[in-house]
Structure 1
Amino acid sequence: MVEVQGNPVKRFVVKQFLPLGFCVAVVFALLFPIPGNVLYQYKVNGWKLVTTVNMALIFFIFGITLETTELKEAMKGYKVLLLAIVTILFLTGLTGFIFINMDFKPMEFGYGLAIFACVPTSLSSGVALVIQGYGNAALALLMTVCTNILGIFISPLVVKLILSSAIKDIKVDAVDLVIKLGVSIIIPLLVGKSVRELWAPALRFAKKYKVPLYLVNQFQIVMIVWQTLSHSQHELLKQKLYDVVFAIMGAIGQHFFFLLLAILIAWVVPIVGMRMQDGERKAFIIMCSQKSLPTAAVIISYLPSGPGDSFQHVEGDDVATGSQGLGDLGLVAIPCIVFYVMQVFVDAFLANGWASKYEKGQALQSKYADQLAQLEKLEPHAPSLIASTVIEEELNAYGAGAGAAPDTELRFDVAEVTDKARLLGGIVEQSDHLGVSGQNQAR
């Protein structure tokens, strides 16, 4: 999470930059679609140049700000990491079969939800929310890196599988998609990370200008949304209001479905014997319920469009092949945009709840810790504050547990220490009830 110093207005703008940017992008796309449409259609040798540059900048900045130390520490939770990879790239991805067969009008909305189910987890918002909820941020970051790199190879295959089940004769070149995603993601990420590690001024720059780099990153996402909506402004305005509302509700429902699926898996896993600490559980739930809009936008932009009248001039090459397409690609992207916005708001509410519970637990610990510290000052010769089970073990060692009298060298009042231990045990019990996971998990 980016910490911002300064006046409240500045903090608000930085924190809410993405939702505010989306609002501006929607207004400009609907009122002045020509500039965004021109940028969207600009191609060089079949590559949508501006979209590719936007995506490359996102991952270059991600690489130059990527910390290595915490990633190594997060590898201790490799079992949870593997479970998250399977959940994000396969379990939620295969739910695309559900959404593509729902009765959306136009069907582009259903295609959008199906494609969005197949992409990796979000880049920055997910990790920020895990930090906000006192989860394991290092593990969340590792989930982001691994799923976005593996997703380059897995997501196009899953997208092709799902689309082929619903659209007859659709031509999806999975290898071409892998290449385009590789150029947009892996190369910029590796370049950014290499520059950070090999050139000291770049490291200092990344640390000093963390907030501006964060804003530039978010601006690239806004640019992708603006271009996509501008391209499809004419088609979007033709749609009936209740069809658009149904698509919006579908996107919201999809996120809640992913959230409940992640919670269910996190609840079942300890039952079958796999340990998941509190901070790991929070990271797993947030990251497995979120999806990456930039990756989805790039995949959508390179899928075949048409066969619609509005595309016979704009996307003539695709129609000329005679293959079935997805229709208006801008309409396909709309539910993805809605999902992305809603996941931030819904998961922020969840993270705030976790944070409140954690902070109450810490306050409770602090309150009783002060009282017990005062007791120790008043009784400096009394034993340290230890749990009752430890006291019983020590008494048994001296024979008290067997009915014998304690050794005369054991100079303390047993009843008094037991009361102290009972008080301390009560603190631990209440803190656990409030969800306190310990400082090592509050990342």
Structure 2
Amino acid sequence: MVADSKADPPPPKPAWKQRLERVQTFVVENYLPIAFAVALTFALAYPVPGRFLVNIVVLDNVHIVQEVNMAIVFLISGLALNTTEMKKAMKRESWPSVAFGMAMILLVTPALGFAMREIPLTPPAFAVGLTIFCLVPTTLGIGVALVRSCRGNEAIALLLTVASNMLGVFTMPLYLRLLFLNHDTGGLKLNIDIPNLLVKLSLTILVPSVIGKAAREMFKPVEQFAKDYRTPLSLFSTSNLAFIVWQTLSGARDLLFEQRAAMIVSVIVLSAAIHLFYLLINHYIVKWVAVGG
């Protein structure tokens, strides 16, 4: 009898293992909203640890734990930054995309602040917060994390994040004066210390990104480590962002609970509407340019 040369097919995986793999895939693909939801839940349910950490301040105004979290996020961004993507981001054909992104972030989207300023929220600080929300550049870490989760070009995302935040230090004071001249700010002080903010941004985003990228380029084991553990590094980066959210919400939890529920819901709905408006306007502009090209 001639032995069958074909290997037997592997036995099917148990049903529980298949379900576990599906759950794991879902968690990895949706880790950003899941992590933020967990951070929100813990901050509102038991704020003591987060409040303790957010109140650790050095040099008068540096929340050191949050700054370390943010530095880790951008260190990982530098480690994960693909040289090919970086070269592509620097090529001439990418300049229109970068210029469009910078113009939308620093010039166009802040204009929505004029509408947010006029919304009659109580206390007025809510309207001020939404207005400033429109003014600020790309949120540190979130922009890169979202692009990574969508499998976009992380190099362009990192470039836009760093550049818009650095330039935003100079554009935001102008917008603040324009928007809040002779306008009620609810007792909030809106002064910006430009030199101090530039130093903090450099130490938080620029230096860690450069260190991460330099380590990847100079040491092959580091590059291999970044490639082999790309997903765990991405999850760890997102966890640090969620850690910042947890601390911030823990510190503000009591203040939030003092406000009327209707006002809190209104702010959440308006924030979502702002994001939706930005997404739609950018989608249709890019679509129009693509069709025109």
Please report the TM-score for the alignment, with normalisation by the length of structure 1. Answer: 0.55
Please give the per-residue CA displacement for 1:333-372, whole angstroms capped at 9, x wherever unaligned.
xxxxxxxxxxxxxxxxxxxxxxxxxxxxxxxxxxxxxxxx
1:61 corresponds, among 76, 83, 94, to 76
Which of 218, 229, 234 pairs up with 1:209? 229
1:261, distance to aligned residue in structure 2 (A): 1.8
Give the greater-gyration-radius structure (CA). 1
C-alpha deviation, 1:52, in angstroms: 0.4
Residue deviations 1:270-307, cap 9 Å, x none? 68x7x3xxxxxxxxxxxxxxxxxxxxxxxxxxxxxxxx
Q: Deviations over 1:159-218 (max 9, x none)?
A: 333334324863221221121111100000000000000011110111111111111101
Report deviation, 1:68. Answer: 1.2
Distance 1:263 1:7, change over 3 A: closer
Deviations 1:404-428 (Å, cap 9, x if unpaired)? xxxxxxxxxxxxxxxxxxxxxxxxx
Residue 143 of structure 1: how far off its partner (Å): 3.0
User: 1:81: how far off?
Assistant: 2.4
Please tell me whether the aligned partners of residues 97 and 162 of structure 1 are also in contact (alpha carbons under 8 angstroms): no
2:147 maps to which residue? 126
Supply the AA of the counterpart residue of 2:119: M
| 1:147 aligned residue | 160
CA drift at 1:127: 4.2
Identity %: 31
Correspondence list, 1:118-267, <5 A: 118-120=136-138, 122-129=143-150, 131=151, 137-138=152-153, 141-164=154-177, 165-166=179-180, 167=185, 170-267=190-287
Matches within 5 A, 1:295-314: none
Partners in 2 of 1:27 and 1:45 — Cα distance?
31
- Alpha-carbon contact 1:114-1:162 (below 8 Å) kept: no
CA distance in 1, matches of 2:234, 2:148: 13
Question: What residue is the counterpart of 1:370 in the other structure?
Answer: none
Structure 1 residue identity aligned to 2:54: Y
Give the letter aligned to residue 34 of structure 2. L
Please give the alpha-carbon distance, in whole angstroms, between the structure 2 residues aligned to 1:170 and 1:262.
Answer: 29
The 1:191/1:86 distance shift into structure 2, 3 A limit, reads same
Taking a change above 3 Å as real, the CA distance of residues 23 and 120 of structure 1, as seen in their structure-2 partners, is: closer
Structure 1 residue 255: deviation in Å?
A: 1.0
Report what 2:7 is aligned to.
none
Give the 5 Å matches for 1:400-415. Answer: none
- Higher relative CO (Cα under 8 Å, sequence separation at least 6) belongs to 2
Pairing of 1:48-127 with structure 2 (within 5 A): 48-74=63-89, 75=91, 76-117=93-134, 118-120=136-138, 122-127=143-148
Contact 1:84–1:143 (CA<8 Å) still a contact in 2?
no
Superposition RMSD on alpha carbons, in Å?
Answer: 2.2
**1:127–1:144 CA distance, 2 compared to 1 (3 A):** same
Secondary structure, counterpart of 1:119 in structure 2: coil
Tell me, which stretches of 5 or more residues in structure 2 are unaligned? 1-19
8 Å contact from structure 1 (residues 85, 143) kept in 2:
no
Name the CA distance, whole Å, in 1 between partners of 2:156 and 2:109: 15
CA distance in 2, matches of 1:98, 1:178: 29
Contact 1:111–1:163 (Cα < 8 Å) also in 2: no
* Contact 1:85-1:147 at 8 Å conserved across structures: yes
Task: Note closer, same or farther for the CA distance 1:263–1:190 as it changes in structure 2 (3 Å cut).
Answer: same
Partner of 1:389: none
- What is the TM-score normalised by the length of structure 2? 0.81
User: Do 2:42 and 2:246's aligned partners in 1 also have CA atoms closer than 8 Å?
Assistant: yes
Q: Is the 8 A contact 1:39 1:227 kept in 2?
A: yes
SS at match of 1:106: coil
Range 108-117 or range 143-152, more displaced: 108-117
Aligned mates of 1:242, 1:100 — CA distance in 2: 18
Aligned-partner Cα distance in 1 for 2:115–2:156: 25
Aligned equivalents of 2:147, 2:110: Cα separation in 1? 18
Shift of 1:111: 3.2
Amino acid at match of 2:122: K
**C-alpha distance 93-146 of structure 1, shift in aligned 2 (>3 A):** farther
